[in-house]
Amino acid sequence: MSNILIIKHGSLGDLIQANGAIKDIKNFYPNRKVFLLTTQPYSIFMSECPYVDGVLIDKRLPRWNLFYLNNLKKKLLKYDFSKVFDLQNSSRTKFYRRFIIKNVEWSSTDTILEPAQKKNDFDKDPVLDRIEIQLKKSGIETEFTKNIDLSWATTDISLLVKNYTNREYIILFPFCSTKLKNKKWPYYKELIQRLKQEFKNKYSILLAPGPNEIEEAKQLNARIVLENNQPVNLKTLVSLISSAKFIIANDTGPAHIASHLDKNGLVLFGSHTSAKKVSIENFNFKALSVEDLNDLDVNTVIGEVKSKLN
């Protein structure tokens, strides 16, 4: 029996958001094997996802690397895919449809647009709305696309947490990609000082830096959670967020995790996009949005935190 392929390269937040859709696709094809094509940083994490039967790695090398593309094509052909769900909807996956995985039924933004509808207009809608529309127009019932279950992605971190605190904690994510510095709120150091003043010893303040963020974390006066002096793995990260009393983050992957766990917390937004478009707000997890993150003062953030924790 032929197999199903889902393409979602990343980023972390995007992959977290796709979990509900992946579950819906697997539920619709219970007797088919469902594979995920993603990138190396997420391969181990997603290999433990119960909604996929296997994870394939795409190095996303340049398209002029014909040797790599030919090998990728040969690898994918071995799996006899009968349908591809393109949840990445990028120029790269559009290229794959034309040249790498041809003559296979595809579900993508391009395949489900109305005759007069433009992709640029469709892409203005909230991301989870778009995914739901794509799946429904592809004949998939959507029970979990907007009701994302991350229970599979948690693990017991009690021993790890004991190494850093013996009380409830607030976890901060002051980092962002170096390519997206406009997402970064610049006042986390002052925020940490104010949190300690406001809450005294009630909460510990923790940081969980990713790769290339440890040195930056050392500049902040908070406890840095590491495993063997390295960043925690993704299941541990999800678990740290799940166990936190409160989360404060830039618009990055950890914020999406907090949102879909419906944790009490804040995500700080500038004008790079909107919280509605990236489907990041939930009942407990809210966005503070301003035109310029440099203009969002610490007092405003502290006021929001106190209103939720006091």
Read off the pLDDT band of 1 (50, 70, 90).
low
Q: Can you say whether the dihedral through the CA atoms of 211, 19, 252, 159 is positive or negative?
A: negative
Where are the strands (E) in the chain, listed by range? 3-7, 34-38, 54-57, 81-86, 105-107, 169-173, 204-207, 223-224, 246-250, 265-269, 285-289
Tens-place pLDDT, residues 133-159: 999 999 999 999 999 999 999 999 999
Question: Does an H or E element contain 187, and which?
Answer: none
Question: The domain 3-149: what is its CATH number?
Answer: 3.40.50.2000
d(C-alpha 85, C-alpha 94), whole Å: 12
Q: What mean pLDDT do residues 37-49 have?
A: 96
Pairing of strands 285-289, 265-269: parallel
Pick the closest to residue 283 from 297, 265, 270 (CA basis). 265
Read off the pLDDT band of 124 (50, 70, 90).
confident
For domain 153-309, the CATH class is: alpha beta
Residue 177 has pLDDT above 80, yes or no: no
Spans of all domains in the chain: 3-149, 153-309
What's residue 276's pLDDT?
Answer: 87
Reported pTM: 0.93
153-309 and 3-149 share a CATH fold: yes
Of 25-29, 73-77, 124-128, 169-173, the one with minimum mean pLDDT is 124-128
